[in-house]
Structure 1
Amino acid sequence: MEYRKFDNVIVARIDKDEEISEQLRVIAIKENIKLASVQALGAINDFTVGVYKTDEKKYYSNSFQGYYEITSLTGTINTMDGEYYAHLHMSAGNQKGEVFGGHLNRAIVSATCELVITVIDGRVDRVHDEETGLNIFKFN
């Protein structure tokens, strides 16, 4: 992975065999990012995404292996209890044009991933919400 910072924007290249969420975490901690928006595209060959069932308050994950192009990866970086927290969603398409997606658990790069982080001057923490079972934005 390699990246450059331009004012409040960080542009990164995540390389073959690297996991996207792990590399995002490395950048965010190194750059002390407390609030940002994230977007990416690229090629992956092994990923897990999930869907949250609100009535059960539980995530169900699906894993995929093969040739996939990220059609969309979007999310946020912020904090929970003052520590790094990322919330990412991804969709990826196969050679037939079938697209699968959901809450991103992990994604291994097969060729390259182009990641753009827009740092926001501010801070938004998260708090666990008992009603939904999710960690939601907490505005101070």
Structure 2
Amino acid sequence: MDYKVYEDGMIALRLDPGDEICESILALAEKEDIQAATVTGLGATDDVVIGIMDTKAKKYNDIPLKEPFELTSLIGNLSRKDGAPYLHAHVNLGNTEGRVFGGHLQLAVISVTAEIFIRPIKGAIDRKFNDGIGVNQMIF
């Protein structure tokens, strides 16, 4: 993992083989004291877990995927929950046949590289669990 913080606050993050996306973004958010940000990126992975929300059970069903994928889209945000960095991200993944899988990003280990941009927002966004919908909802 390597990154650079630019004058306007934008952060360019490069992940290398073996780096895990969520863990890396959260570590960077902690180190740079990011309270809120948008996250976008792309890359390649061959070890992924995505989640699909079961709205009736109010929980994510995990889907592990272990094959070569182009991470064609990573989009999400950073906020805080109980004072710690919190990542909410979704991905689209294209396999070698051009089929696309997508969902809530739980885990993705980089196989080649990932190029991620993090744009901090001036201010803070917190999260609190909402029993009614079963997710950690943004609180302003």
The residue correspondences of 1:29-44 to structure 2 (distance < 5 A) are 29-44=30-45
Alignment partner, residue 82 of structure 1: 83
Alignment TM-score, normalising by the size of structure 1: 0.96
Aligned residue pairs, count: 139
Alignment partner, residue 3 of structure 2: 3
Residues 68-110 of structure 1 deviation map (CA, whole Å, 9 limit, x = unaligned): 0011111110001222111111110001100111011100100
Alignment TM-score, normalising by the size of structure 2: 0.96
The residue correspondences of 1:1-140 to structure 2 (distance < 5 A) are 1-6=1-6, 7-139=8-140
Q: CA RMSD in A?
A: 0.8
Instruction: Find runs of 4+ consecutive structure 1 residues off by over 3 angstroms.
Output: none
Q: Which runs of 5+ in 1 are unaligned?
A: none
Residues 105-133 of structure 1 deviation map (CA, whole Å, 9 limit, x = unaligned): 10010000001000000111111111101
One-letter amino acid of the counterpart of residue 104, structure 1: L
Q: Tell me the SS of whatever aligns to 1:66.
A: coil
Q: Which runs of 5+ in 2 are unaligned?
A: none
Residues 45-81 of structure 1 deviation map (CA, whole Å, 9 limit, x = unaligned): 1100011111111111111111100111111100012
Q: Tell me the SS of whatever aligns to 1:89.
A: strand
**Mapped partners of 1:88, 1:42: distance in 2:** 14
Contact 2:127 2:136 in 1 (8 A): yes
